[in-house]
Amino acid sequence: MDLRSLRYFVAVVDQQGFSRAAETLHVTQPTVSKMIAQLEQSLDLVLLERTGKRFTVTDAGQVVLARGRALLAMHEELNVELADLQQLRRGELRLGVTQQAHQPLAPLLAAYHRQYPDVELKLFEDGTQAIEANLRNGTLEMGSLLDYAGNAHIWTEFDSLPLVSSPLCVLAPLASPWRGRPKIALGELADSPFIFYGASFALNDIVTDACAAAGFQPKISGRSGQWDFVASLVRLGVGVAILPQLFCDTLPPGQFSIAQLTEPALDWKLRLAWRRNSHLSFAARAWLTLARTSGSVPTFGHELSH
Tens-digit pLDDT profile for residues 13-32: 989 889 999 998 999 999 99
d(CA 67, CA 241): 67
In a domain, 238, yes or no: yes
pTM over 0.75: no
Q: Which domain holds residue 32?
A: 3-86
Residue 145: exposure state from Cβ atoms within 10 A (0-12, 13-18, ≥19): buried
Contact (CB, 8 A) for 229 and 203: no
Based on the fold, state whether residues 80 and 56 are members of the same structural domain: yes
In a domain, 301, yes or no: no
Sign of the Cα torsion 210, 214, 217, 222 reads negative
In a domain, 74, yes or no: yes
In a domain, 305, yes or no: no
| pLDDT recorded at residue 177 | 92
Based on the fold, state whether residues 73 and 127 are members of the same structural domain: no
Using DSSP bridges, classify how beta strands 120-126 and 241-244 pair: parallel, antiparallel or unpaired.
unpaired
Radius of gyration of the chain (CA): 32
Q: What percent of the chain has pLDDT above 90?
A: 54
| pLDDT recorded at residue 232 | 95
| pLDDT recorded at residue 127 | 83
Based on the fold, state whether residues 227 and 113 are members of the same structural domain: yes
Based on the fold, state whether residues 195 and 275 are members of the same structural domain: yes
In a domain, 252, yes or no: yes
Based on the fold, state whether residues 116 and 96 are members of the same structural domain: yes
What is the number of structural domains in the chain?
2
CA distances from 279 to 91, 124, 128, 282 (A): 15, 19, 22, 10
Q: For 231-295, give the DSSP string.
A: HHHHHTTS-BEEEEHHHHTTSPTTSEEEEEEESS--EEEEEEEEETT----HHHHHHHHHHHHS-
| pLDDT recorded at residue 83 | 72
Residue after which a domain boundary falls, among 46, 67, 86: 86
Residue after which a domain boundary falls, among 86, 102, 126: 86
| pLDDT recorded at residue 53 | 77
Over residues 261-301, the pLDDT tens digits come to 999 999 999 999 999 988 888 889 899 999 888 754 444 44
Based on the fold, state whether residues 40 and 20 are members of the same structural domain: yes
Based on the fold, state whether residues 207 and 188 are members of the same structural domain: yes
Contact (CB, 8 A) for 88 and 114: no
| pLDDT recorded at residue 303 | 42
| pLDDT recorded at residue 84 | 65
| pLDDT recorded at residue 298 | 47
Residues of the chain where predicted confidence (pLDDT) is lower than 50: 296-306
